[in-house]
Amino acid sequence: MRISIAAIGRMKTGPERELVARYLERAQGAGKPLALTGFDVFELSESRAGSAAARKTEEAKAIRAALPDGLVVALDERGKSLASEAFANQLARWRDDGRAAIGFVIGGADGIDPDLVRAADLTLSFSPMVWPHQLVRIMLAEQLYRATTILSGHPYHRGD
């Protein structure tokens, strides 16, 4: 199953970008034997439309165009909170069901278009707090890597 991330906003060169790259590189290596591939990031420009609603609509179009056909997971503070093992198991279920691709969506400063959130196969929350897209991208990359280690029995994940 191919995994992609579509994120509104670009990360500057620096430690945050390096951390995302490091986790996704590890996820690629650990995911390959598990039939989890890709771990691509599509950075999309923030809309310059005049209203928040118009910006979210434009950004949703760009997100849909960037992601391969497949499942969509929207990251939103109002979404479902999953433990790391439950997240890993969900990825494995989708993979085992023959899903070809999954796209994770990280919205811009205004959030994600409500229609895109409603159409998502899962709306996932890392916290009821709002986080900047850079930190969400780091947390998602780490959780994707953690999921591959959980599914492969690697000791990186040492939860209860």
State whether residue 23 is helix, strand or coil: helix
Task: Give the per-residue pLDDT at 19.
Answer: 97
Is 31 assigned to a binding site? no
> pLDDT value at position 6?
97
The answer to the question of residue 25 being in a domain is yes
- With a pLDDT cut of 70, the percent of the chain lying above it is 98
Position 84 in a domain: yes
Specify whether the CB–CB gap between 56 and 41 falls below 8 A: no
In a domain, 38, yes or no: yes
Within a 13 Å sphere around the CA of 90, how many CA atoms are in the beta-carbon half? 18
Instruction: Look at the chain and report how many structural domains it folds into.
Output: 1
Residue 131 marked in a binding site = yes
107 is in an annotated binding site: yes
Instruction: Kindly report which listed range (10-14, 19-23, 91-95, 112-116) carries the lowest average pLDDT score.
Output: 10-14
pTM of model > 0.85: yes
Q: Would you say residue 82 lies in a domain?
A: yes
Give residue-wise pLDDT tens across range 108-130. Answer: 999 999 999 999 999 999 999 98
Three-class SS of residue 4?
A: strand
* Cα separation, 103 vs 72, whole angstroms: 5
Question: Which position has the token pair 């990186």?
Answer: 156
> Residue 36 belongs to what domain range?
2-152
Per-residue confidence (pLDDT) for residue 154, from 0 to 100: 77
The CATH number of residue 58's host domain is: 3.40.1280.10
Predicted confidence (pLDDT) per residue in 52-90, tens digit: 999 999 999 999 999 999 999 999 999 999 999 999 999
The verdict on whether residue 130 carries a ligand-binding annotation is: yes
In a domain, 93, yes or no: yes
The answer to whether position 109 is within a domain reads: yes
Question: Is 34 among the domain residues?
Answer: yes
> What pLDDT does 90 receive?
98
129 is in an annotated binding site: yes
Residue 158 in any domain: the answer is: no
158 — pLDDT class (breaks 50, 70, 90): low
Q: Is 75 known as a binding-site position?
A: yes
